[in-house]
Structure 1
């Protein structure tokens, strides 16, 4: 049976809102126990029948005489008279009848509730709640004590402390309001009873927003937690707005006339300080702005559906005003506060040695606990092995904590165990084929619903199979869908706690740096030394669950390192007036010593004179023409002074052009390419010539290492420029054809 949400909130949570005239919570009462003048109790309490909805003083006698054919009644009467089981079953039927009556009273807004025990004085109905197990009506203060000892409590449920937790559970198990879905009622029922929860239950727009987010994200526990957080953010905004403005409902915020009050409420909620122009919680300001936009769009859609022109007009104008004023009033300051707070925060990166120590420690712990669980099964061994495996997977795969911790059991059980296709072996090297068969791959849900892969070693796979096989024997509930489930609960182990705990005991120098986020950045940052192609970088970003643009922007060398180690070279070259010396070089090729003494002009002239007298003249490089840029792209057209000659595609190139001599330097002729050199280059660099891509420095050095004898007189710049000329000749030949 359902009843109005306003009265439900008042009865269940004790809301202080002013009730409507048609449904006044003050009209719902619990009558006190009557006594005679001498102080003796008057036993006139009546219970309502579950089947005929009428009150009776002797409900057990009535059930036995009038409803003995009902299945529940027949089951209760099958036990001997005076037995505990008979009394328990009849009490449960009696409580269910009273519960149905109380629900009808709540829906009508008037009447008397039937409690499990009548109080000493008359009390309003909002001070009582129904037990989630036996459905008896108890006062809020003693409900937790009753539920701890309730005779109908399932044996698998363990008692947990906390009055608020008990009241939240009982709220969820109570009657569901007619305009709220059962799933959303479960989301709201998990909230602690407080003024914010009261506001959420009484505001129809917040209910509609919660249902919208729940429909959009699905019924997963993670999305339910997200919906709960968003609803409470809006609830806190309304709660604080009532203190400093006249806004009382969420619909009042979606009105252009109240926009300045909305800004005032947001600033008050986020702790804005006008003197310092800073928010205490700047991220909350941005979240509230996004939430208000969603609410405006939602109300606009509802207005269009119901043909409510006033609602559509208010929502549309609010969106326009928000677009023009929100950045100026709120978001610009909030984003500036967030950015400034990160300026001088030290960058923590894990040491490779610490990562190795943690890997070794986890491998040792896995062996010990796996052996212990296999030979001497115990709950502790199962729990510890679960924590070790979860941490190992996060560390090895560099996954986000939540992606592994919330991995469902179904993802592990439905993993792909088929043999690799034979045709795939043609595209893999021998080492890659072994790795392909060595690891096991699982796909689970990641950030923004992306599918993210998880690789398992054979040892990890054996441990997870043992955990999945024995989870039922160690108290894991059937309703718990997680692979790394906690016994006697419906949640999973907290991943950050496990990583933090193992980081402290593994002997790491800096255990604070061993977090999943820093480990992910550590892997992505160090991958820059591999000189990966765009395709390979895209594959790494996909495996880590990144967007490639975010990967390139944030997962690189820390900005502090770039500025201190690389950009400082340019500044020193500018300071010493030597920037022209490094013409055509990138930041990695610039070599400049911070302790090097800079000579003034007189000292430099004197040194040049001495060098000329002693015939100590620096020989120019074998390639006088400047090489193209090191990036994997075609360089700009060479100037007239540095114009390269096209090379024939079939014969070695003989470059006889002499660079115009500069003052004080000896010119040198180009050394022609020998046939053996050309063949050595073409064996390794022909793919670049055909594709039209200029090789990188690392590609040229790899070719030099492969042909040390044939190319002993060449350097990487010679190879790069040679390939560039061959590409130019190849393109001209194609154009002629």
Structure 2
């Protein structure tokens, strides 16, 4: 512009315009896609409960040591050690973001609300909840995007923080430093992320890299699914963690991979085995299907209702184990042919009158309705008549009922 080079000025403006219009299409979209695809098959790292316990036990021991040292010999080294231990305790116990706790101001702690719970409010609490209100103290700090974030303090934390406040001047902590967890002889604060990682490495955890505040927060949200919380209780937990349930909903459910392995696989197996109609009206938690259960091979012979096909399954299982075949391979087309071959080489055993009466006593409703019972129902039938069915497995009971149902269907077709 100083030289008056209009051609260069025009080229620069054109280049800037191209960057503004093409950057997202040519650069950022591909970069985001690459970042997303790189995470597809990476294992989700969640902290072990055993590691969390080790960390808390280590913090308890170190707090006691640092507290004693600071009381006996106040200096900046002992003050900084107790400040780091207390900072880590507050972060881990409350599952807070380390930056939020690290920047806690001194005034937030010294001017905290120490009043007791209002008597009228206590009417809505149980005796245990009233004790908890007296046991903990609560302070509020500034969180992400300026939100108010609560923190609960145990009596041990309170004792340590009171000692830190009372010994600040003797330990060369500047009066001008506004932070609760200040650095001696400086105007900055101790970094919570560094402290958490340092203690995670020192406590003997199996996976210290999983003991970060972010992973611990996600872990707490995920494990909350085991508690069967109501919607308002889930909102309270999310609010305490500083989450918006609408934004962080994926944290408050089981990991995607676990859901697909444990839940959706039931539907796929039921479809593969042609049993989906057996679970009509049930949700995913109510579907009970055994992946080790072999596919039944039924015969269309007229006397099949009097035969026990247990030998088919037994022969298939023994041959599969000797050949080191997986249960999944038994479900393939090739293995179905093998099952038929093995079945032809085995003999069947007639059902006695006592066995038939025992099955009809418990499972006649299934025979009449044309519904094949599951494993649980067959085991219950055997338990109801243990003497009569002592030589029968649950698969044999199931196949017997299936054959009776098929026989009734054939008779019905003949009458038509």
Given the superposition, is the C-alpha separation of residues 602 and 550 from structure 1 closer, same or farther in structure 2, using an over 3 Å criterion?
A: farther
Match in the other structure for 1:366: 63
Q: Work out whether residues 221 and 251 of structure 2, in 8 Å CA contact, stay in contact via their aligned partners in 1.
A: no
For 1:562 and 1:664, the matched residues in 2 are separated by 29
For 2:87 and 2:251, the matched residues in 1 are separated by 26
Q: Match for 2:142 among 445, 465, 468?
A: 445
**Is it true that 1:551 corresponds to 2:309 in the alignment?**
no
Given the superposition, is the C-alpha separation of residues 555 and 247 from structure 1 closer, same or farther in structure 2, using an over 3 Å criterion?
A: farther
Match in the other structure for 1:508: 205
Aligned pairs for 1:467-486 (under 5 A) are 467-486=164-183
For 1:381 and 1:605, the matched residues in 2 are separated by 89
CA drift at 1:525 = 0.9
For 1:420 and 1:621, the matched residues in 2 are separated by 61
**Is it true that 1:662 corresponds to 2:359 in the alignment?**
no
Q: Match for 1:415 among 112, 117, 139?
A: 112
Aligned pairs for 1:263-662 (under 5 A) are 322=21, 327-602=24-299, 608-610=305-307, 614-615=356-357, 616-617=359-360, 619=362, 662=369
Given the superposition, is the C-alpha separation of residues 529 and 374 from structure 1 closer, same or farther in structure 2, using an over 3 Å criterion?
A: same
**Is it true that 1:258 corresponds to 2:11 in the alignment?**
no
Given the superposition, is the C-alpha separation of residues 363 and 330 from structure 1 closer, same or farther in structure 2, using an over 3 Å criterion?
A: same
For 2:201 and 2:147, the matched residues in 1 are separated by 32
Aligned pairs for 1:59-208 (under 5 A) are none
For 2:202 and 2:242, the matched residues in 1 are separated by 29
For 1:365 and 1:605, the matched residues in 2 are separated by 78
2:286 is paired with a residue whose SS is coil
Given the superposition, is the C-alpha separation of residues 467 and 598 from structure 1 closer, same or farther in structure 2, using an over 3 Å criterion?
A: same
Q: Work out whether residues 617 and 665 of structure 1, in 8 Å CA contact, stay in contact via their aligned partners in 2.
A: no
Match in the other structure for 2:397: none
For 2:215 and 2:146, the matched residues in 1 are separated by 22
For 1:493 and 1:620, the matched residues in 2 are separated by 69
For 1:494 and 1:551, the matched residues in 2 are separated by 25
Q: Work out whether residues 224 and 252 of structure 2, in 8 Å CA contact, stay in contact via their aligned partners in 1.
A: no
Q: TM-score under structure 2 normalisation? A: 0.71
Given the superposition, is the C-alpha separation of residues 452 and 349 from structure 1 closer, same or farther in structure 2, using an over 3 Å criterion?
A: same
Q: Work out whether residues 477 and 488 of structure 1, in 8 Å CA contact, stay in contact via their aligned partners in 2.
A: yes
Q: Work out whether residues 86 and 160 of structure 2, in 8 Å CA contact, stay in contact via their aligned partners in 1.
A: yes
Given the superposition, is the C-alpha separation of residues 665 and 461 from structure 1 closer, same or farther in structure 2, using an over 3 Å criterion?
A: closer
CA drift at 1:337 = 1.8
CA drift at 1:459 = 0.9
For 1:259 and 1:430, the matched residues in 2 are separated by 68
CA-based RMSD of the aligned residues comes to 3.1
Q: Work out whether residues 76 and 173 of structure 2, in 8 Å CA contact, stay in contact via their aligned partners in 1.
A: no
Q: Work out whether residues 88 and 195 of structure 2, in 8 Å CA contact, stay in contact via their aligned partners in 1.
A: yes
1:602 is paired with a residue whose SS is coil
Given the superposition, is the C-alpha separation of residues 473 and 584 from structure 1 closer, same or farther in structure 2, using an over 3 Å criterion?
A: same
Q: Deviations 1:81-117 (Å, cap 9, x if unpaired)?
A: xxxxxxxxxxxxxxxxxxxxxxxxxxxxxxxxxxxxx
Q: Work out whether residues 349 and 522 of structure 1, in 8 Å CA contact, stay in contact via their aligned partners in 2.
A: yes
CA drift at 1:619 = 3.7
Q: TM-score under structure 1 normalisation? A: 0.41
| Unaligned stretches of 5+ residues in structure 1 | 1-17, 22-245, 264-321, 625-659, 667-737
Q: Work out whether residues 55 and 203 of structure 2, in 8 Å CA contact, stay in contact via their aligned partners in 1.
A: yes
For 1:498 and 1:510, the matched residues in 2 are separated by 16
CA drift at 1:377 = 1.8
Structure whose CA Rg is larger: 1
RCO (CA 8 Å, sep 6+): is it higher in 1 or 2? 2
CA drift at 1:609 = 4.2
1:348 is paired with a residue whose SS is coil
Aligned length: 324
CA drift at 1:606 = 7.5
CA drift at 1:417 = 1.0
